[in-house]
Structure 1
Amino acid sequence: MMSKCYVRAGVVASVALVAGETSAQETNDWDVVVGGGAFFGPEYLGSKEYGFAPGIIASVQKGPYFVKFNGLTATANVLPFESFYAGPLIGYGTGRKDVKDKVVDKLPDVDAELWVGGVVGGGYAGLLLQRDSLGANLEIAHDVMGDSGTTATFSVGYEINATERLAFGVDLSTTFVDGAYANAYYSVTSAGSAASGLNRYDSDAGFRDVTLDVSSRFAVNEHWGVGGMVGGSVLLGSMADSPIVKDRGEATSGHGSLFLWYKF
């Protein structure tokens, strides 16, 4: 099963695509980058069971306009600005089913999700050094296919280019979820309690987690590049207090990825 954590890893891995952004904006030519890798993380946020999953990253850009594919999520910019972007978001979520934990597996499945929403963000280059940048990003998405509600993720990231080929970055993010999402993933209904033996529990809307990621990328040559990321997440509030997490899982989890990309 591929969890939403893997999608998150794919999003962070998209730092590799930064390698192609500058030239596209400066020359106004088409810039295409494709890549993929292996992502490691928990089956779902709060699980103590881990696994690997493949992932794809890609970007098509002309000037400030772009379409990016990060894991199972696609975003686009429709604004003609270099330091500010906004556009649509669409993504696929696998929900929660057929998990390794036999107790949690007895709970009702969380159906697959079709996330539709928008993204807005901006950045500033040369903040402290000549080759560094600071950016912020807000993604809001609603599940139009299932019962997973609405999420809003805010992130802020800092990147420094140690050399023309080597860069390091750090990203801090948090996600707010509504009551529908909290119920789908972290509540235990009376029927679920009877089936699993877990205590009945009602989870509330709130900030789901805080996540910190550290990444690095290296351009091997004009076309090929490699990168990696490691990070951790901490569940918060009623999500962390859910018996799905307290009795069967862990509130703190780690994740990571290794990826390779090619720039046309």
Structure 2
Amino acid sequence: MPIRPSTTRPPTAPLQAISALGILAALAAAPAAAQETFEGSVGLGAGFNTEYEGADEYHPIPVVPISLRYQGFGLQTAGQGVQIDVSGIRFIDFGPLVQYRSNRGSDVDDPVVALLPEVDAAVEIGGFVEINLPFFLPGTDAFTFIGRFTYDIADSHGGVLIQPGLRYSVPIGEDIRINLIGTTTFASEDYNETYFGVTPAASMASGLPVYDAGAGFKDISATLAGSYYFSEHWGVTAVMRYTMLVGDAADSPITELRGSRNQFLGGLALSYRF
């Protein structure tokens, strides 16, 4: 079964931190271009996120965004992990990505969810593509199609995630850039059953009703991010993301009875670019 007891409890902070820093790194950056020199940015900040998917408790998280590019190739934190652009093509990025999804254990704040069998940490690998096209203001703003695909290789949930999205990025003057992004996530039955299902045994332990979660779209997200560089090298980036769980993820008793379908993430980071 994808949900099973375990004595291994890695901390939840790395996943939440990576989630926030991925948005900050990706959205603070300008549309991809073929860099002739080594360029990039690194940052450090703090933010907040839900304790697990479907929770209504929020924890502080560290934020450490990284984005590096050289001659059209790049590496950056994204989503819950790291993606590597191997295209070398202007306006088109694609390549492998790897993500770490932390466990949900008995140390969560909700006393009922804490009684559910622990979900082990997952390691997800896959690929991504980002197609950047000039939009209303050629040479300055960009409209980007985003596509990501991942599969769990750690046999935690054993499922597949597919995430399409759109991003619009526009500068305001020389030092400010605003980004709007919308995404949705399709999850396989294995994934949804692991994180949102309640087996008969889990029902007996927690008192939650038995619930079978099938495959389908599990969320819709909207993100607003802005970056401001107050000097040649130093700047700040702020991000706010709202995610609404939908389908079987929203109807799960873990979400509906013990948590919330409304999920928020925020962060602020000080960045250095070179």
Partner of 2:22: 11
Partner of 1:61: 69
Per the TM alignment, residue 15 of structure 1 is displaced from its structure 2 partner at its CA by 3.6
Structure 1 unaligned segments of length 5 or more: list them: none
Equivalence map 1:54-203=2 (5 Å): 54-70=62-78, 72-97=80-105, 98-125=107-134, 127-130=135-138, 131-148=140-157, 149-203=159-213
3-state SS in 2 of match to 1:194: helix
Partner of 1:233: 243
Q: Is the 8 A contact 1:137 1:154 kept in 2?
A: yes
Question: Whole-Å Cα distance in 1 between the matches of residues 16 and 183 of structure 2?
Answer: 13
Percent identity reads 30
Instruction: Give every structure 1 segment of 4 or more consecutive aligned residues whose post-TM-superposition deviation is greater than 2 Å.
Output: 1-11, 19-22, 69-72
The reply to whether residue 44 of structure 1 matches residue 52 of structure 2 is yes
Report the CA distance shift for 1:21/1:222 in structure 2 as closer, same or farther (over 3 A): farther
Aligned length: 260
Equivalence map 1:213-252=2 (5 Å): 213-252=223-262
Partner of 2:39: 31
Report the CA distance shift for 1:261/1:64 in structure 2 as closer, same or farther (over 3 A): same
Report the CA distance shift for 1:123/1:87 in structure 2 as closer, same or farther (over 3 A): same
Partner of 2:6: none
Per the TM alignment, residue 17 of structure 1 is displaced from its structure 2 partner at its CA by 4.7
3-state SS in 2 of match to 1:156: strand
Letter in 1 for 2:24: A
Partner of 2:220: 210
Structure 2 unaligned segments of length 5 or more: list them: 1-11
Report the CA distance shift for 1:86/1:21 in structure 2 as closer, same or farther (over 3 A): closer
Question: Whole-Å Cα distance in 2 between the matches of residues 177 and 5 of structure 1?
Answer: 19
Q: Is the 8 A contact 1:124 1:134 kept in 2?
A: yes
Q: Is the 8 A contact 2:19 2:81 kept in 1?
A: no
Question: Whole-Å Cα distance in 1 between the matches of residues 258 and 16 of structure 2?
Answer: 18
Partner of 2:5: none
Q: Which moved more, 1:30-39 or 1:9-18?
A: 9-18
Question: Whole-Å Cα distance in 2 between the matches of residues 150 and 3 of structure 1?
Answer: 21
Report the CA distance shift for 1:4/1:210 in structure 2 as closer, same or farther (over 3 A): farther
Question: Whole-Å Cα distance in 1 between the matches of residues 243 and 201 of structure 2?
Answer: 30
Question: Whole-Å Cα distance in 1 between the matches of residues 215 and 39 of structure 2?
Answer: 40
Report the CA distance shift for 1:154/1:4 in structure 2 as closer, same or farther (over 3 A): farther
Report the CA distance shift for 1:262/1:15 in structure 2 as closer, same or farther (over 3 A): same
Per the TM alignment, residue 80 of structure 1 is displaced from its structure 2 partner at its CA by 2.2
Question: Whole-Å Cα distance in 2 between the matches of residues 36 and 70 of structure 1?
Answer: 15
Question: Whole-Å Cα distance in 1 between the matches of residues 167 and 146 of structure 2?
Answer: 9
TM-score, normalized by length of structure 2? 0.89
